[in-house]
Chain A
Amino acid sequence: MFYAQLIVNGLVQGLIVGLAALAVTLVFGVARFANAATGDTMTFGAYAALIGHKATGSLVVAGGAAVGATALLSLTVYALVFRKLAGRSVVALLVTSIGVGFLLRSVLGIVFGHNQQLFTVPLVRPIRFNGLIINPFDLQLAAVAAVALVGVFLVLYATPIGRRMRAVADNRELALVSGIRPERVMIALWLLVGAVTGVAGMMLGMKTIVSPELGWEMLLPAFAAAILGGIGSPVGAVLAGLLLGVAQELSTPFVGFTYKLSISFVVLLLVLLVRPRGLFGRLEGVR
């Protein structure tokens, strides 16, 4: 039962990482660079949700605010920054995204201050199920993560724009000659990424506390999960997040709490040694 509880705790931890990894992996898959501004965009989403929640007291409105505002921010950043740098090297884009992240974090710090802020939601007693302690909020969190994942899936696999997105992700030149306009695809991509990032930020903010450093500190685990899941694979990102979370928590009886973070990187290392393309990554042909 002790280990079952650890697994539950790990799943909760993993869901949050998985949502963040989902945002990272989408950019990775289509725009082909590691977006280091993802963390700070999450923070932005958390603050947007906080404002929505404070103004109306409704979590649905808060979620809407997070999704809407963050999608808009994401699109703005693309239009002002990443679009101008299209075709530059991956390193240039990565460094630029670090800069974007810095800017966001500082602006959030100036506007909202560095004091911690909280979602004032009533605290509820957990559900006890055969000795397992499950927090109702974590069930909601799992539901939100599932909805986000299904949403991303539907967009990618059931809509024309999703098909174009996948085409651009597979082979940009071929997509171009087939008459796909990459501009529209990119706009759709950044809106989708923004929406997912906003949701991830809000969930993280509700689970912990909201401060300007909130998302930045989430970036490394999110990158790890995106790589482990196979770059560009949405399912992989979420499952890898869960796997890392569970591995971390299950390791604590043996290595203690201070070393659990390194365990997730050991798992990452082992998986990549055996399967260099990640859990769900596809082999890329040599062009």
Chain B
Amino acid sequence: MVQSTSLNRRRFMQLLATVAAAYPLSGLSENRQQALVSNHVSKEPWVTISSVQEHLFPADKNSPGASDINALLYLQNMMATPDFDKERAELIHNGVGWLNDLAKQQHSKTFIQLDSTTKENILRRVESSNAGSRWLSTLLTYLIEALLSDPVYQGNPDGIGWNWLQHQPGFPLPTENKKYFKIGKNRYRHTKA
């Protein structure tokens, strides 16, 4: 755990400067900066994943991008849930390796160092393999969930995705103690007989 807020801020600013210059600064609240840092966003695989997410779901003037919807934090939260599929977690990690290997091989750079056009080309190459396509499809799934799931899971902050799409959520909405993996917990009590 990182101790002080000012350190968080400083580290976060460094991160932005070095890693993801495309992040729109103004949209980020302090809480989210802290959350990002406390989840080791400065380390791999998160640095690369964050950059891929921003490419797959870019921000523009009128609509939120990956960072605005807390896509990375959301993905990290999901991967930390009790029933997260192990193979899927491996896939998410492994894909980063494939992508950077390909980037180094073709351009002698890591993915995050590439310009947007080169990123697009290399991601389309990744898509041409079955495993690469599964990896990208998985990242897109969690991007869409971060855009449209309940803010209690920390994506879609303040309903930013719902607002953009004029989507009317239902009611009542889940609370912290009623997240899906906390409901009917007895299910988990059973282990193999």
The answer on A and B forming one complex is no
